[in-house]
Amino acid sequence: MTASSKNYIAWTLRIIVSALFIVSALAKLSKGHLLDSPYFAISTFEVKQLYPMGFSEGFAPYFSRTLIGIELALGLLLLQKNFLRNFVIPVTILLLVVFIGHLSYVTFLSGGNTGNCGCFGELLPMTPIEAIIKNIVAVGLLVYLYKILPKDSKNGNFWVLTTVLFATILSIFMLAPIQPPASNFTVSTPEETVTDTTQSAAVDTTDSAIAKDTIKKVDAKKDDVKVEINEPEKHKSGYAQYFSNIDKGRKTLCFFVPGCDHCRHAAKELTELKKTNKNFPEISIIFMNEEADLIPDFFKEAGAEYPYKIIEVIPFWKVLGDGKDTPGVKYLWNGNVFKYYWGITDNKFDPVDYQKLINKPYSELKK
């Protein structure tokens, strides 16, 4: 192989692997488009990828930003010549091997190949197996690159490496500044007096199973009437800090992101169901504080306005639940959870199923 051919191949490999690292870093700072919502994206990465690994809430924000900065730095350093063969390529291979080991361990524990590994954030979802294959291919390319690069090349200036590294890490901290933790999931305004403006259709549901919440029983000895309440015992759901009446009666509690198309579609489906059932469980919404200015547009598309609260990004993910995703819809009765829909796959909100569910009496739900 001629020197010019080796040089051409080397540059091709450097550009390919460099692009993988740069895109991976920027994707972890993006929601739907590159760098469109850095804090939201990096917080999501922390909650979904780092918390399950045992990272603390205090350490995760620093680790995530440093890791992304290192990824970005390696992507850039692969395109320069200083210490390329003797330092940059070996460190890059080592990092990829660590990623492969972690992904293999996660896949082994989960017993399958589901979910998003987080390599490219939420921008480009990738399963753990796909990520392992991608990393193995990248390692192979780097090993070959290491072999074809000239061994007698000068190492160069090490300050170039440190400058690029610190500059990229600092830039990540500046793009997505660490915010102080919210105390007890601090809730933003407006108050829950926001009016539910859905107009229910004139549908007679008085004979439905849910309408018969009381059953009269006659005591033959005392010849009097006892009333048995056909509903679950009251339970504290943990959401009373958001809506004071959430644990009283039948409620529909939703977890939405204002700019999420799937959330808007679920809200629209709920509105359509509510129009056909005047006894529909009262709807309340917990919004993530991400693009909160889109809430009026959200309600316009949903076809109705409902009481809502706004909470910060990381507290929102924690309230939503580990491993859960938006949109989230819960059916509560006296604070008891009888159904939880979440995400856009197997557990996604099903309006037909929900309609059947809310028409069931407690005697059927508790079976």
Residues in the chain: 367
Axis-axis angle for helices 60-77, 38-45 (nearest 10): 110
Close Cβ partners of 197 (under 8 Å, ≥ 6 residues apart): 304, 305
Beta sheet of 187-188, edge-to-edge order:
187-188, 308-311, 282-288, 250-256, 328-333, 336-342
Q: Is the pLDDT of residue 296 over 70?
A: yes
Identity of the residue numbered 307: P
Stated pTM of the model: 0.71
DSSP state of 48: I
Portion of the chain with pLDDT greater than 70, in percent: 79
pLDDT per position as a tens digit, 75-108: 999 999 999 999 999 999 999 999 898 888 777 7
User: What confidence score (pLDDT) does residue 231 get?
Assistant: 83
Which of 30-39, 63-72, 324-333 bottoms out in mean pLDDT, i.e. has the lowest? 30-39
Strand 282-288 to strand 250-256: parallel, antiparallel, or no bridges (unpaired)? parallel
Give the span between the Cα atoms of 21 and 292, in whole angstroms.
32
pLDDT per position as a tens digit, 225-264: 444 557 888 899 989 999 999 999 999 999 999 988 999 9
Nearest to 316 by CA among 206, 185, 223: 185
Domain locations along the chain: 3-175, 187-203+231-365
pLDDT per position as a tens digit, 181-231: 654 443 433 344 343 444 433 333 333 445 444 444 444 444 454 445 578
Identity of the residue numbered 327: P
Portion of the chain with pLDDT greater than 90, in percent: 48
Close Cβ partners of 289 (under 8 Å, ≥ 6 residues apart): 188, 310, 311, 312, 313, 316
Give the homologous superfamily in CATH for domain 187-203+231-365: Glutaredoxin (3.40.30.10)
Q: State the burial class of residue 33 (Cβ atoms within 10 Å of its Cβ: 0-12, 13-18, 19+).
A: exposed
Q: Is the pLDDT of residue 362 over 50?
A: yes
295 token code pair: 């809430």
User: What confidence score (pLDDT) does residue 339 get?
Assistant: 93
